Amino acid sequence: MSERRRDPVSHEWRIFATGRQDRTYLPPTDECPLCPSVPGAAPTEIPWSAFSVAVFENRFPALTEGVTTPHRDGFFALAPAAGAAEVVVYSDQHDATLAALGRDRLRLLVDVWAERYAALAERPDVQYVFIFENRGEAVGVTLHHPHGQIYGYPEIPPAARRELEVARRHLGEHGTCVSCDVAARERSRGERVVVQSDCFLAYVPFAARFPYELHLAPYRHVTSLLHLTDAERDDLASILQRVLQAYDALFGFPLPYVMAVHQEPVADGDWRSISHLHFEFTPIHRSERRRKFLAGSEIGAGEFLNDVAPEDAARRLRTAVPAMGAR
């Protein structure tokens, strides 16, 4: 079963991909499918013996290239699970972390993301390109080798749609981009800023959902990675590295997190003035030993509870940011 179904009560679409139920699950290191292929051993997903960054289609995809047209089954609406599901392997080193790979690799990764954004934008079954990373077993990672993913959704997903609606309203009322306004306010207030660079600001959001949530956005109104200048891409690689190193230093272990990149939809429409590129990091720890769980309030009511003041989280994260200039 590979299908999208619309919930009749919330009108949200959900993706069903039962082939994923048997996907590779935490294989031993010598059977890692994301390591390079070596002579004399069974080939991995990646045919080369060495590589920098590799991108390929997920072998257990949630979405596959195809026709997106929905149809009805009596009362219910459904559609093929069309779209893209790609894997982005950050390194050929099995035990590497993104933070430790260095700025050049991060800069290359920014270029790869931008290129995949442009490539997937061309596909008729893709309306929204969603770059993300799940890091750590605690967020459900099934392969340890450092990697991220890219989904090409056949719709603008609910979280992005809600942001765009608010941004459209804000533009109508104030004539400005709400994310530009937020970045300017956070920069001048300073109390939630974690680290800043020439072009980017990393801050704990005013109404963070997760205790150590962090958003990273350019001051300039840039709609996607594709529209960053060369200098901005260098700057992004550098501040991304500092954020990732701060997360690893915060509690002294690689912090499990979800990283989500929000960009301009690639669907037809007038999105330019209301789309503002930003990264959302949502680590799931509320302290060194305790996790934040999504439970009754979040899952049942959609209302987030947070036990850590964003200003305190920002203060702790600031002290974990490494001094500039390393590597």
Q: Which stretch binds a second copy (CB under 8 A): 34-42, 73-81, 247-255, 318-326?
A: 73-81
Provide the token pair at 160.
């992005």
Of these, 140, 172, 175, 252, which contacts a second copy (CB under 8 A)? 140
Find the binder of a second copy among 110, 120, 208, 266 (CB under 8 A).
208
Q: Which entry of 11, 144, 147, 221 is annotated as an active-site residue?
A: 147
Sheet containing 147-153: give its strands across: 54-57, 84-89, 147-153, 128-135, 257-262, 278-283, 214-218, 200-203, 193-196
259 lies in the site for a second copy, by CB under 8 A: yes
In the three-class reduction of DSSP (H, G, I as helix; E, B as strand; rest coil), residue 92 is classed as coil
Contact pattern from residue 79 through residue 118 relative to a second copy, giving x for each residue in contact according to CB under 8 A and a dash for the rest = ----------------------------------------
Q: Which residues of 261-286 are buried (b: 16+ CB within 10 A; e: fewer)?
A: bbbbbbeeeebeebbbbbbbbbbbbb
> Which residue from 52, 100, 132, 187 is in contact with a second copy, where contact means CB under 8 A?
132
Note whether 205 binds a second copy by CB under 8 A: yes
Residue closest to 257 by CA, chosen among 277, 299, 225, 286 = 286
| Cα distance between residue 248 and residue 136, in whole Å | 12
Q: Show Cβ contacts of residue 136 under 8 Å, excluding neighbours closer than 6 positions.
A: 254, 255, 256, 257
Considering beta carbons, is residue 59 or 185 the nearer one to a second copy? 185
Q: Are strands 147-153 and 200-203 parallel, antiparallel or unpaired?
A: unpaired
- Counting contacts by CB under 8 A, is residue 51 touching a second copy? no
- Gap between the Cα atoms of 121 and 27, Å rounded: 33
Report CA dihedral (124, 54, 2, 131) to the nearest 10 degrees: -60
**Interface with a second copy, residue 315, by CB under 8 A:** no
36: β partners = 46
Residues whose CB is less than 8 angstroms from the CB of residue 45 and which lie 6 or more positions away in sequence, other chains included: 33, 34, 56, 59, 87
**214 in contact with a second copy (CB under 8 A):** no
| 167 touches a second copy (CB under 8 A) | yes
Site string for a second copy, 3-32 (x = CB under 8 A): --xxxxxxxxxxxxxx-xx---x-------
> Per CB under 8 A, does 144 bind a second copy?
no
Catalytic residue status for 170: no
3-state secondary structure of 77: strand
| Least CB distance to a second copy at residue 45 (A) | 19
Least gap, CB of 202 to a second copy (angstroms) = 15
Is 172 a binding residue for a second copy by CB under 8 A? The answer is no
Helix (H/G/I), strand (E/B), else coil: 153: strand
Residue 64 is a binding residue for a second copy (CB under 8 A)? no
CB of 199 to a second copy, least distance (A): 20
Count of residues engaged in binding a second copy, rule: CB under 8 A: 80
> In the complex, what is the shortest distance from the CB of residue 93 to a second copy, in angstroms, rounded to a whole number?
22
Active site residues: 147
